[in-house]
Amino acid sequence: MKTSYLFIVLFGLCSLAKECPAKKPIVFIPGILASMLEGDVNIADISKTPLPEKCDTHVEYERLWVALKNVRPLKNDCSLGYLTPMWNSTSKEQIDIEGVNIVSPRFGSTYACDEIDPNWPVSIFAKCFHDLIKKFKKLGYVDGDNMVGASYDWRYYRYGEYKHKRNWFADTKELIINTYNKYGKVVVISHSMGGLMFYKFLDYVGKEFADKYIDNWIAISTPFLGSGKAIAAAFPGNNLGLPINADKLRPFARRTETVALLLPIGGTKIFGEETLMKIKSTGKTYNADELEELIKTVDDKDFQENYLHGVQHGMKDLYEKYNYKLPFDIKMQCMISSGYESIKGVEMENESYD
């Protein structure tokens, strides 16, 4: 998407004058893969993890997503290995490898959702909100003050349920209140999965909070009904536009609950009758009514449980609660990108998906 076009839409935030006394405060909410993740590693016994034996058991605090050294050409399986979650079949929860601690840094700043790696060539693919942030700074917006970032560990979405992760919904609520107390009602700008997270946030805070604190919601390229790209990521593998081999990202995608969150929603009645998967050797096809059947073709119990939970409870419960509408009336603009071919479905030779 050309940010110049988006910038025109945001005239409600501020005039184009050099001096902009009536700037409305902005809250950025990024999507999947679109904010930095940092952390450290202190693994007691690597044999009790899914990591290769060659991986370091101790890594000092550093950027883990995404660093140039880790994606050129991503021969280091440990880089994604540290980031790849595990599934606790007993508690039905996604967890990190024991001894791996991961966060999205500097909550409240746009730091983590500006550029996730400023180094070439990754910077070409990893600008995130960079161009917008740069434009707003020229208009006098100040990072961490009247322009804030509500970045999060985008591998997770069940905040508030998990005891082992900070409650992003509670943190974002506090961030919005603090920003409102200084500058008034906020404008939320979300991108991609960030829009789903904000939809969940609206359910979390309720109408009274939104009426008081939210001026406007600008949802950019939000897959409200899911995306065929999630099918591509989980089954054959897809590099999601990054300079990373697709086969390296597939194991990560199959363990990450937010990829399941992005699967098509609502069956054929809501999503449509598009063929999401076709197996060439048998002619078998799967549509949005048959997602659970498709998931069960992968011989991996943890994958099945994680993804079935995502399909059954990720957005479905909330959408049914609100009859596939917004939780309540809120001023909102939706934007979509152009010039990029969307993945509508996948064809594979057989159900090995290789």
State both tokens at 268.
């054929």
Look at residues 160, 242, 220 and name the one whose alpha carbon lies nearest to residue 28.
Answer: 220
Stretch 128-146: mean pLDDT: 94
Instruction: Determine the average pLDDT of the residues in 10-15.
Output: 51
What's the pLDDT score for residue 121? 59
Distance CA 94, CA 87 (A): 5
Res 56: pLDDT: 94
At residue 245 the predicted structure's pLDDT band, cuts being 50, 70 and 90, is confident
Q: Would you place residue 3 in the very low, low, confident or very high pLDDT band (cuts 50, 70, 90)?
A: very low
What average pLDDT does range 49-75 have in this prediction?
80
Is 15 part of any domain?
A: no
The confidence score (pLDDT) of residue 137 equals 95
Q: When comparing pLDDT for 70 and 213, which is higher?
A: 213
Q: What confidence tier does 4 reach under pLDDT thresholds 50, 70, 90? A: very low
Per-residue pLDDT of 199-222, as tens digits, reads: 999 999 999 999 999 999 999 999
CB 196 within 8 A of CB 157: yes
Q: What is the pLDDT of residue 11?
A: 47
Interacting residues of 108 by C-beta distance below 8 A, sequence separation 6+: 144, 148, 149, 150, 175
- How many distinct structural domains can be found in the chain? 1
Mean pLDDT of the 86-114 span? 96
For 69-72, the CB contacts below 8 A with 24+ separation are 71/122, 71/242, 71/243, 71/244, 72/243
Judged by phi (left if over 0) then psi (alpha if -120 to 50, else beta), residue 54 lies in: alpha
Asked if residue 351 has pLDDT above 80, the reply is yes
Question: What six digits make up the tokens of 157?
Answer: 């979405």
Domain for residue 286, yes or no?
yes
Q: Is 222 left (phi over 0), alpha (psi -120 to 50) or beta?
A: beta
Using the predicted structure, report yes or no on whether residue 125 has a pLDDT greater than 70: no
Does residue 6 fall inside a structural domain? no
Residue 326 belongs to a domain: yes
Q: Is residue 14, in this structure, part of any structural domain at all?
A: no
Q: pLDDT averaged over the chain?
A: 90
| Rounded mean pLDDT, 95-116 | 95
Is the pLDDT at 123 greater than 90? The verdict is no
What's the predicted TM-score (pTM) here?
Answer: 0.92
DSSP assignment of 153-215 equals -TT---TTT-SSS--HHHHHHHHHHHHHHHH-SEEEEEETHHHHHHHHHHHHH-HHHHHHHEE
Find the domain containing 303 and state its range: 24-348
- Which two structure tokens, joined as six digits, stand for 110? 């746009």
Residue 280 pLDDT exceeds 60: yes
Q: What are phi and psi of 336, to 5 degrees?
A: -125, 155
> Which pLDDT score is estimated for 72?
53
Question: 11 lies in a domain?
Answer: no
Contact 193, 258 (CB under 8 A): yes
Q: What is the pLDDT of residue 75?
A: 52
CATH of the domain at 78: 3.40.50.1820
Residue 299 lies in a domain: yes
pLDDT class of 2 with cuts at 50, 70, 90: very low
**How far is residue 321's CA from residue 209's CA, in Å, rounded to a whole number?**
19
Radius of gyration for the alpha carbons in the chain, expressed in angstroms and rounded: 20
Beta strand spans in the chain (E): 26-29, 37-42, 58-65, 86-88, 93-95, 100-103, 147-149, 186-191, 214-220, 277-279, 285-286, 332-335, 346-348
How far is residue 225's CA from residue 99's CA, in Å, rounded to a whole number? Answer: 36
Calpha distance 93→86 (Å, rounded):
9
Choice between 318 and 74, residue whose per-residue pLDDT is larger = 318
Q: What does the pLDDT look like over 165-189, one tens digit per residue?
A: 999 999 999 999 999 999 999 999 9
Residue 181 lies in a domain: yes
